[in-house]
Amino acid sequence: MSSSSIGQKIRPKEIEKEIDERGAFIRQPNHFTTPFGDGENELKADSGKYRLFWAKGCHWSNRASIVRELLGLTDAIGINLEGHSKENRAFGWEFVYNEDNKDPVLGAQYLSEFYYNADPDYEGRCTVPALVDVTTKKVVNNDYHRLTNYFEVAFRPFQAPDAPDLYPVELRKEIDDYNDWLFPNINNATYRMMFAQSITAYEEAFEDFYRAMDQIEERLSENRFLFGDYVTDSDVRLFVTLARFDTHYYRNLGPIKHRVVDYKNIWAYLRDLYVIPAFRNNTYFRDIAAPQSENKSFFQDFNSRFVSQIDYEGIWSAPQERKELSKTPEEKFKRHEKGNE
């Protein structure tokens, strides 16, 4: 244990703290949910005031890193990656990619330090994404449900001039409703399967997931993206989950009905998104597929055995013809219209 681990709280375990009487996984609620806006008690968007922390394997936080880059907020919002070290894993997310395992801007070793700065009595898991105020060194928002929407709307003044409109005013209600459907049926359904402690709870999540996949496959038979010709916030949310299914999530599941690559429309759609630089730059397939144990004397899953031999870049960059479904085949993004922001 490192000296800076002293005084850190042990990370709570999902299967001990977030399982109901039926053996179903009930994800902990987000703790820091103050919205961004112009109201008196709302957070204020500003350039250089916040730092985003995320992790390669966490699709909840991967959403925010992709949207940040898509919108050209790379100068306005700082960023750093978290990970796990073998010796300090019990303490949760740590700055393992930095010198001395410390964030070079704020000097912390663990993400939890920002949580306890904001609420010394916090007892839940310290999760990513976490948006931290660099002046106070406190988490101000960890609400993955809404964080990308805040980037899309509240941080509009700091976006690149040609930033895409991922959350068009005329579609916001539909996007919100669809995102609310994606959460239990796709995004969280994978975890509902992986953390289920009863076969009944597992099967419920399994059926929800594959029923939703069938619906999405049908939807994408006529639409290039979920809402037609242009990428929206919903596409980011779907991509980050499905990008991890065949490379990681399957390890913790029983017999699966289909792989993601077995869905003709979904698989081509994901590749259509992957060639967009912000998606490709923030998707670390080799890290996601990395072996779960360094002990090679035990049986290892497919990806663990062959991760160094699999050409993820080539597989995910394989040509597809999704643009034929679009009225604007060479343009994947809707741009902001003046007076309609």
Q: Name the residues annotated as catalytic.
A: 58, 191
**Which residues are paired to 81 by β-bridges?**
54
* Cα separation, 316 vs 288, whole angstroms: 14
32 touches 142 (CB < 8 A)? yes
Burial of 36 (0-12, 13-18, 19+ CB in 10 A): buried
* Cα separation, 332 vs 164, whole angstroms: 9
Structure tokens given for 7: 């005084």
